[in-house]
Amino acid sequence: MKDIIYEFLDYLMNEKKYSNYTETNYELDLFKYEEYLNSHKINYLKVKYKDISNFIIYLKESKYKSTSINRILSALRSFYSFLEKSNKIQSNPFPLITSVKTEKRLPNYFKYDEFITMLDSIEDTPLGIRNRLILEMLLATGMRVSELVSLKVNDIDESNKEIKVLGKGNKERIVYYGSYCSESLDNYLHKSRNILLSGKTSEYLFINNNGTKLTDRGVRLIIDKIVQKSCIKSKVSPHTFRHTFATLMLNEGCDIKSVQELLGHASLSTTGIYTHLTNEEVRREYLKAHPHGRE
């Protein structure tokens, strides 16, 4: 089964243009599934509906969260769809498999003053200048971390403060940035980037301390260190910047359709969760302020 899994992963990367992050998760999920099948002596080409149901029960009993189970099922649906299109299986049980019910959790976000605290903790060094731009650009644009590290210098139109982003499903969109991010970008391009390149050349915007392209994991580690140093209370990851961007935009009156376009969401319902987030913020402010609203 290992060979066909790697063939499938190559297909995701080369044909579907999935991110490295998604590809890594699919790889882990598929090998977990293979391990289960081997332990139960089940041929992956001949799985039935009951086999998948038992696998879901196994995941629940193994204390997997509903979101994790659904992620695994998503990987398996794609995998079996690939097997079906490749004529490697006669029947596909996954159209009959439904996702596990999950609790609707609102995405976390940070306050603007916490963002300023993070920026204030960054030193004025070549790496610090780069790290400041990472934070500024994530909050200014709401882009995914995979999109950020894939940015090329030529993707940026500095005169119009626009960035061409290649998102999920190889879909292109334009995002915008303001004067603060523009200043950080100018500082990075003219003071820091060439120092980090150390004589090397690269088309990518963000460079690591070895003079090569920065990775998703590299950005996560950078943000973890900044959060730790700044001692803020909120949980912050690269994706938290995306949540914060959407929340700030809606709170300031931007219409939800525009936020959908800027985030690169295929469905408006995906963006809709941020309206719940802003409504909850309004509710908290109401309960705090109204004399008959306090609990």
Active site residues: 144, 168, 239, 242, 265, 274
Interatomic CA distance for residues 69 and 59, integer angstroms? 7
DSSP label at 254? Answer: -
Residue 180, CA distances (Å) to 125, 161, 213, 224 in order: 18, 11, 24, 22
**Nearest CA-CA partner of 203 in 134, 153, 272, 160:** 153
**Nearest CA-CA partner of 213 in 148, 269, 268, 156:** 148
Interatomic CA distance for residues 206 and 202, integer angstroms? 9
Interatomic CA distance for residues 248 and 254, integer angstroms? 9
CB 198 within 8 A of CB 211: yes
Interatomic CA distance for residues 199 and 2, integer angstroms? 41
Q: What is the DSSP string of 225-249?
A: HHHHHHT-SS---HHHHHHHHHHHH
Residue spans of alpha helices (H) in 2-152: 2-14, 20-39, 49-61, 66-85, 112-120, 126-141, 145-149
Count Cβ atoms within 10 A of the Cβ of residue 221 and give its class: 0-12 exposed, 13-18 middle, 19 or more buried: exposed
Interatomic CA distance for residues 133 and 140, integer angstroms? 10
